[in-house]
């Protein structure tokens, strides 16, 4: 309590000192700055972000100086032309010259601002000649990254635990800013980012890259980033996308090119290994153990940690017709989703092994006891491929 009070006092002082807020953020080292000092847009690590930062500062300073002039006159008048000082009111109420001046001068200032803004926007829109294409798909409430033509794709979702969010576990340094697997990109290479949405509109925002682009179902938007400095850059979903809008962060790991190539080769071999696993037959215990993890990560957000659902919005799985009925229906709804509802087509998001495990878990957990209660990856593969 005392330290909170101290913080508040410091905050009050921080708020009074207006000028530092224009510079403080840029001067901070890469370590997490104290949040009182987080006052301005980051300069970022791409040419676009630095460009945007410069325009932002120019416009701020123009506004500040106009503000000083305009409010200066106003405060002078408020002080000098008070009735209590015996000031007698003048009676003028028109002056074409003055009015022309304060129409034309602002218009000229605007034209001056428009030039750098136009140049910067053109630069931002130039997505040509990319070295690497990454497709980013927004899902409720996670991101999927596809390295086009590289046979690598994965889901990236929040790694912070529910316990931490709801206060039963401590909040660590990167609370709500940590993901299961970051987007890895090479430093110094132009990466084209292709955005789309699988369900509702999301928006992929990483401030230090000055990239924010809406991920819209039915559209593929393009933007790009060339990161100059290796490091970890964190961002968030910026477009309201439902319940867990605040819980689908973005982490970008920019690494030197050799490191990136090594990472890519490793991911490619994982893809191959996963395909091989699809043919394996698992025991129920193996599937249940894996399924519990997949369920907690992917399904529990809507259907509840114990399959209880949210009445009126998300159906329960515990005791549901689908989980207790024929396995074909269960597979169909999980793999293909249910159109017109929030139930997504998870066939595009999860591997055969994960899907088999999750479905097996749903059919056996919380007292659900189905007749045919085990699903193998190969069954999922058949449904995915229409066999």
Partner 1 sequence: MAHGPAKGIGRWLRATNHKDIGTMYLWFSFAMFLLGGAFAMVIRAELFEPGMQIIKPEFFNQMTTMHGLIMVFGAIMPVFVGLANWMIPMMIGAPDMALPRLNNLSFWILPFGFSLLAATLFMPGGGPNFGWTFYAPLSTTYAPPTVNFFIFGIHIIGASSIMGSINIIATILNLRAPGMTLMKMPMFAWTWLITAFLLIAVMPVLAGAVTMMLMDINFGTSFFNAAGGGDPVLFQHVFWFFGHPEVYIIIIPAFGVMSAIIPTFSRKPLFGYSSMVYATAAIAFLSFIVWAHHMFTVGMPLAGELYFMYATMLIAVPTGVKVFNWITTMFRGAITYETPMLFAIAFVILFTIGGFTGLMLAIAPADIQYQDSYFVVAHFHYVMVAGALLSSTAAVYYWIPKWTGRMYNETMGKVHFWVSFVAFNVTFFPQHFLGLAGMPRRYADYSLQFADWNMVSSIGAFAYGASQLLFLYNVIATIVAGRKVSDPKVWEGAEGLEWTVPTPAPYHTFSTPPAIK
**Interacting positions 34-63 with partner 1 (CB under 8 A):** 35-36, 38-42, 48, 51-52, 55-56, 59-60, 63
Q: Nearest distance from residue 264's CB to partner 1, in Å? A: 28
CA distance 363 to 54: 57
Is the CB of 313 or the CB of 328 nearer to partner 1? 313
Q: Which of 5, 16, 173, 258 binds partner 1 (CB under 8 A)?
A: 173
Q: Nearest distance from residue 335's CB to partner 1, in Å? A: 17
Is the CB of 68 or the CB of 293 nearer to partner 1? 68
Q: Nearest distance from residue 108's CB to partner 1, in Å? A: 10
Q: Write out the binding residues for partner 1, residues 290-309 only, by CB under 8 A.
A: none
Q: Cis before residue 141, ω within 30 degrees of 0? A: yes
Is the CB of 165 or the CB of 333 nearer to partner 1? 165
Torsion of CA 218, 222, 227, 230, to 10 degrees: 20
Q: Nearest distance from residue 135's CB to partner 1, in Å? A: 14
CA distance 347 to 353: 11
Q: Which of 27, 114, 148, 306 binds partner 1 (CB under 8 A)?
A: 114
What are the φ/ψ torsions at residue 137 (nearest 5 degrees)?
A: -115, 125
Q: Nearest distance from residue 32's CB to partner 1, in Å? A: 6
Q: Nearest distance from residue 35's CB to partner 1, in Å? A: 4
Is the CB of 280 or the CB of 338 nearer to partner 1? 338
Is 159 a binding residue for partner 1 by CB under 8 A? The answer is no
| Contact (Cβ atoms closer than 8 angstroms) between residue 120 and residue 52 | yes
Q: Which of 157, 177, 354, 379 binds partner 1 (CB under 8 A)?
A: 177
Question: Can you name the residues that pair with 187 across neighbouring β-strands?
Answer: none
Is 212 a binding residue for partner 1 by CB under 8 A? The answer is yes
Rg of the chain in Å (alpha carbons): 28
CA atoms within 13 A on the CB side of 371: 6
Q: Which of 1, 5, 97, 167 binds partner 1 (CB under 8 A)?
A: 167
Is the CB of 216 or the CB of 324 nearer to partner 1? 216
Q: Which of 6, 23, 87, 369 binds partner 1 (CB under 8 A)?
A: 87
CA distance 101 to 96: 9
C-alpha 107 chain-centroid distance: 37
On the 0-12 / 13-18 / 19+ scale of CB atoms within 10 A, 185 is: buried
| Contact (Cβ atoms closer than 8 angstroms) between residue 9 and residue 27 | no
Q: Write out the binding residues for partner 1, residues 1-20 only, by CB under 8 A.
A: 4, 7-8, 11, 15
Torsion of CA 29, 255, 237, 247, to 10 degrees: -80
Q: Write out the binding residues for partner 1, residues 223-252 only, by CB under 8 A.
A: 234-247, 249
Is 358 a binding residue for partner 1 by CB under 8 A? The answer is no
Q: Which of 152, 211, 353, 374 binds partner 1 (CB under 8 A)?
A: 211
Is 81 a binding residue for partner 1 by CB under 8 A? The answer is yes
CA distance 376 to 280: 8
Helices (H), 230-304: 257-277, 284-294, 300-303
Q: Write out the binding residues for partner 1, residues 182-201 only, by CB under 8 A.
A: 195, 199-201
Is the CB of 170 or the CB of 367 nearer to partner 1? 170
On the 0-12 / 13-18 / 19+ scale of CB atoms within 10 A, 224 is: buried
């Amino acid at each position: 309590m005392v330290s909170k009070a101290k913080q508040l006092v410091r905050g009050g002082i921080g708020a009074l000192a207006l000028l530092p807020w224009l510079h403080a953020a840029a001067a901070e080292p890469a370590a997490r700055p104290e949040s009182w000092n987080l006052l301005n847009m980051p300069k970022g690590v791409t040419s676009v972000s630095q460009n945007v930062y410069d325009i932002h500062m120019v416009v701020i300073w123009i506004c500040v100086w106009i503000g000083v002039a305009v409010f200066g006159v106003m405060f002078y008048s408020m002080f000098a032309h008070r009735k209590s000082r015996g000031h007698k009111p003048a009676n003028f109420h028109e002056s074409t010259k003055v009015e022309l001046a304060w129409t034309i001068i602002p218009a000229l200032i605007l034209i001056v601002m428009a030039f750098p803004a136009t140049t910067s926007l053109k630069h931002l829109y130039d997505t040509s000649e990319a070295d690497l294409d990454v497709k980013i798909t927004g899902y409720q409430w996670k991101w999927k990254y596809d390295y086009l033509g590289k046979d690598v794709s994965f889901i990236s979702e929040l790694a912070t635990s529910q316990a931490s969010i709801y206060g039963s576990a401590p909040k660590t340094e990167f609370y709500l800013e940590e993901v299961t697997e970051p987007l890895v990109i090479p430093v110094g290479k132009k990466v084209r980012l292709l955005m789309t949405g699988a369900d509702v509109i999301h928006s992929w925002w990483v401030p230090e890259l000055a990239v924010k682009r809406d991920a819209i179902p039915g559209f593929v938007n393009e933007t790009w980033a060339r990161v100059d400095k290796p490091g970890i850059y964190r961002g968030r979903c910026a477009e309201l996308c439902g319940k867990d809008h605040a819980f689908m962060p973005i982490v970008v790991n920019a690494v030197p090119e050799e490191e990136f190539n090594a990472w890519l080769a490793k991911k490619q071999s994982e893809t191959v290994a996963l395909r091989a696993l699809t043919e394996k037959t698992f025991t129920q215990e193996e599937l249940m153990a894996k399924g519990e993890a997949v369920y907690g990560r992917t399904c529990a957000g809507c259907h509840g940690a114990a399959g209880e659902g949210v009445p009126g919005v998300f159906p329960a799985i515990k005791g549901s017709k689908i989980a207790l009925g024929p396995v074909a229906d269960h597979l169909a709804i999980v793999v293909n989703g249910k159109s017109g509802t929030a139930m997504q087509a998870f066939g595009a998001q999860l591997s055969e092994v994960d899907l088999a495990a999750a479905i097996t878990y749903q059919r056996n957990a919380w007292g659900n006891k189905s007749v045919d209660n085990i699903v193998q990856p190969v069954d999922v593969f058949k449904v995915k491929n229409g066999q």
